[in-house]
Structure 1
Amino acid sequence: METKIFTTKEIDQAAVLLHQGELIAFPTETVYGLGANALNESAVKQVYAVKGRPSDNPLIVHVSDFEMVKDYVTDFPEQTATLVNAFWPGPLTMIFNVKPDAFSKSVTGGLKTVAFRMPKNQQTIDLIQRADVPIVGPSANTSGKPSPTTAQHVYHDLQGKIAGILDDGATQIGVESTVLDLTATDGVPVILRPGAVTKEQLEQLIGQVRIDQHLISDKEAPKAPGMKYKHYSPDVPVWIVDGGLDVFDKAISWAQQNNRRVGLFADEQIVAETKERVSETFSFGQNSVESATKLLFAGLRTLDEKQIDVILAQAFPETELGIAYMNRLKKAANQKIIKKDSIFE
């Protein structure tokens, strides 16, 4: 199969293929998604096959407006209108109870709920409208690997496996949407996956919100994507460095003593101070969690292609957007962290 790169002037062609059951990757403000007609079970099953994704992992359904959601949901919690008005289109996914048989088990993962999102990307909204169907949209990459933030990342992973990619340049945020479960029996919304819409922003509008810190093991079925211990991982092992230049020096010395070639993902100052001691570097620029988050997956992908043995990646405080950044980085590193007081055997 030849994978075609569609420009934003060729949306109609991509929409026809999508409606017919082909797979089309699409851009959002977070990461690129792998689109399939959510009402076509055969197409949805192709998504699992192409990604190598576990079949118990539910999929997010992407819509072009809130009216499209109403066709499938049994009832809406009282917070829904406030959240839609504040964050749609945008990086907030909401989980609702859905009508029986509204979607196949390939979409729901066997659950009675489905996650919905309206992405903040006009090209993709146009694509959904012209295809005239809701579309599933997990990240357009090989399952478990760093998510794609450019069309080129998608092509690298899925060329020859999908019909096309709608190219709208690099994404703006760089990590997947916040997933908010609105179906808890006690009525308190629960963040199952942190993202750019933070707990603080949500609580300002709707009151109490919980964060589910539970990491799903391989034997458990997740209620939302990205909940497993290890995810977003390059082939090269990743270690998180939690500290300043002195901790990076310690981590680099440990790697060198073990004859490991180091790739560094850090801000411009750390890179400048240590680049003579490491094999490869990827700077995310200024020391800000926004810059680090936007370039995290691109940095991991770039370093993974180099001749190195370990990636050392900079930590950030786990507040606001830092919660989402560290959530992805901890899973990429399989929870391995180097701190000032770490002891190496």
Structure 2
Amino acid sequence: MTERLETQILIPGTGGVAQAAALLRAGGLVSFPTETVYGLGADAANDRAVARVFEAKGRPHFNPLIAHVPDVEAVEQIALLGGVARDLAQAFWPGPMTLVLPIREGAELSRLVSAGLPTVAVRIPAHPVAQKLLKAVGRPVVAPSANPSGRISPTTAQHVVSNLGDRIEAVLDGGPCEVGIESTIIGFDPKRTLLRPGGLPREAIEAALGSPLATRDETADINAPGQMTSHYAPDARVRLDVKTPRPGERLLGFGPVDAEWNLSPGGDLVEAAANLFRMLHEMDRAGDAPIAVSPIPDTGLGRAINDRLHRAAAPR
């Protein structure tokens, strides 16, 4: 039987970062904030710690993890960063972008991180608390979203405690996440490909590249996080692109619609992304009646929002 833990709440300004770093170096699991969502951190070189991440989340071992580091120098210790990937790194890191890169020979990474693939997903988060923690740890930290696999991602420390509070050592509470939706993932084998839409809009990446990104074939094997068909799901069933809810449905609105939960009454996609997981958590706590979701434009951050909602609505 898995040991039940009493999760500590650590505060960054009162020694919490140093405590969190010590726990991670000792093989513990610590959730911490990034600008996207709260991650479930573990030492990426520690096989047992990484295995505990999969166990705590109930995550399939064929689903790779993202290694988080504080700067490009740390990226180059574990991965080969060159060409177009380096250009994107210079343009968008630190920030909500993950690059899938060839693993450097001799990199100190658990094989579990890459799910046995020859590539590793890497990100440099911009959140100041994440930056301080990663520098204090001094080694790569895996940090998938700190929630049970397939369920709603956490954007506050309380979301983490509610879902994983007896499975991890600590949560470093840095307040609500600003972006509120996971990072955009880009791969390069063989073409520059959008593997997962996220907090950095596709349009911004394509503008920096001067050319369009290829789109991942959804029937292909999983080669990056966030590609499971059913994911980000609340307890309630979800129906999309709804203009008029059915009797008994609760509306998750967008734009000028009358709804108790409205992602952005003004139709702002940045605001909607920041509110998405928080409102799904609130609706989950409020009951299990079906959720109907207003149509959301499939541009900019709308692509990432719709990606999460389509996976939340998928058969389970």
CA distance in 2, matches of 1:59, 1:65: 18
Q: Which among 264, 273, 277 is matched to residue 297 of structure 1?
A: 277
Does 2:57 align with 1:51? yes
CA distance in 1, matches of 2:135, 2:268: 36
Contact 1:262 1:308 in 2 (8 A): no
Does 2:65 align with 1:78? no
SS at match of 2:78: coil
Q: Deviations over 1:174-217 (max 9, x none)?
A: 110000113x23xx31110011222221122223342424325x
Per the alignment, residue 190 of structure 1 pairs with 193
Q: How many pairs are equivalent?
A: 308
Q: Following superposition of structure 1 onto structure 2, how do residues 67-216 of structure 1 map, counting pairs within 5 Å?
A: 67-73=73-79, 75-100=80-105, 102=107, 103-182=109-188, 184-185=189-190, 188-216=191-219
Contact 1:100 1:112 in 2 (8 A): no
What is the Cα deviation at residue 290 of structure 1? 1.8
Greater Cα offset, 294-303 or 96-105:
96-105
Per the alignment, residue 256 of structure 2 pairs with 269
Q: TM-score scaled to structure 1, two decimals?
A: 0.85
Q: Which among 1, 7, 14 is matched to residue 11 of structure 2?
A: 7
Letter in 1 for 2:312: A
What is the Cα deviation at residue 100 of structure 1? 4.2
Gaps of 5+ in 2: none
- Runs of 4 or more consecutive aligned structure 1 residues displaced over 3 Å after TM superposition: none
Per the alignment, residue 313 of structure 1 pairs with 293
What is the Cα deviation at residue 79 of structure 1? 1.6
Q: Following superposition of structure 1 onto structure 2, how do residues 216-255 of structure 1 map, counting pairs within 5 Å?
A: 216=219, 221-242=221-242, 247-248=243-244, 251-252=245-246
Letter in 1 for 2:68: H
CA distance in 1, matches of 2:234, 2:218: 19
What is the Cα deviation at residue 101 of structure 1? 5.5
Contact 2:32 2:130 in 1 (8 A): yes
Contact 2:40 2:145 in 1 (8 A): yes
Per the alignment, residue 262 of structure 2 pairs with 283
What is the Cα deviation at residue 43 of structure 1? 0.1
What is the Cα deviation at residue 122 of structure 1? 1.1
CA distance in 2, matches of 1:312, 1:7: 37
Q: TM-score scaled to structure 2, two decimals?
A: 0.92
Per the alignment, residue 330 of structure 1 pairs with 310
SS at match of 2:113: helix
SS at match of 2:139: coil
CA distance in 2, matches of 1:199, 1:123: 26
CA distance in 2, matches of 1:72, 1:285: 40
Gaps of 5+ in 1: 273-280, 337-345
Per the alignment, residue 62 of structure 1 pairs with 68
Letter in 2 for 1:2: E
SS at match of 2:279: helix
State the structure with more CA Rg: 1
RMSD over equivalenced CA pairs, Å = 1.8
CA distance in 2, matches of 1:101, 1:52: 29
CA distance in 1, matches of 2:281, 2:291: 11
